[in-house]
Structure 1
């Protein structure tokens, strides 16, 4: 029998904490997984989340049940997941509030930087500037109208959302003094645009593209650096006099901090497998108008670290405050 040297004892002791996590991961999942979507039903977080939840559930052998917890720029849903047991049965699907909220919100019951473990990025959410079909025929016409009528209103899915930032940046660069009107999600924002209660909206594409295709709204510009393959005739903001304009939202999945790494790895693998299916990618890209992402857990961690630094600068430059 080999001698129990100090090195062997230390190696054995170091291996012990990993055993429960490994056993848990091998048994996981044994029941449905709850996915908290941090924005309202029908919006840019909810729709793509539901599209990938179904195949992820099939891959993992347990359904992923999506539950909407909207409000406070995504922090209500995030708080629910940060407080959940780190066992892989409650996960978060969130937007760029993960990067913005640390620069905006104080006295939260959790810390964005330490409260979550990254799973993977689901998609990029391009944004589109829309008006009623009876409104201005192009961005130049809209800007001219805004200069003649100070205080024109634009809707967004919430304070410090991607659409809010896009509108704030355009308003400052064009010097037109737009008035921001925040809603609890893209769907109610679009309802008020259609009703004529606001002059325009920046919206993530899942909510706006169907209305554009139905002829109920007119698209004036997209916020990406290049034109979108599913809206090829809609010019970018950048090519209409604002070089470098590139303001987009995104969706990613997270688990509570402390979730075992093997569970996180299985969730990441299921997400990437779901996104690699050609039919699913087509539904995301051409069906609802988002750009599928994917990648490793480490990719998401690096991306969000960079985004948090960038968003602090945007919040400062645009003087964005939570009202």
Structure 2
């Protein structure tokens, strides 16, 4: 009897492990990409919209195009350190193929076939056009190589097991391509595309559940700063109803608020990128942001009595 029980338990354990291994298996990184002449100007625009240098520029130096990484990104799951994504062949992505890069950005999979942690906002990038990602790769190859690898992520068990990210992706990673709304203008659709893909605005401006997934019903409604620095504002019309389209556009260009104050914290790095966008793309993002319907966000914690 005991022997049968042990055999049954072993069989169930093996079956559970096989199921786990299958569910967490990263997709293939080998993508069939037809030959294409890249558009470097579009690649630069995508680079700025995506805020690549916000996280990957070497900290404490003025050149936003030195993408040697190293910026610490705190989270409830541990601290991530932005990797080197410069064209350096040893420490960066200089030896990556175009297919490697597209798989990383759109599917969150490394050239070695491992899951990237979702601190890398591929949950937004995954809706982008392949052509834009290919242009981005071509542009990034023109940037200066930077030697040196940042330190490894500082994550406790079980959050440091990359294989577990496969389960997380099943729950929270939607790779449906962005689809324009035919009832809206071309400008609005361009703004919606930039905000929801490369701009990845919802990644910071939405509350998250205990597993770190965005709470979709409160998308853009603000919430606790994932890095633990206060509260990220609600950018729907619930929070910014008094902002005009021009207010949004000027903010993306200058970082200046309608009341004359200036943005601070991590948003300053974002503005360094959006300020480099074309005026047309900033206006498109502003048109979309102004159209966001009011959504009630999580309550802010009460301030301690002074």
Smaller-chain TM-score range?
A: under 0.3
Structure with higher helix content: 1
Q: How does the TM-score come out when normalised to structure 1?
A: 0.23
Q: How does the TM-score come out when normalised to structure 2?
A: 0.24
Structure with higher strand content: 1
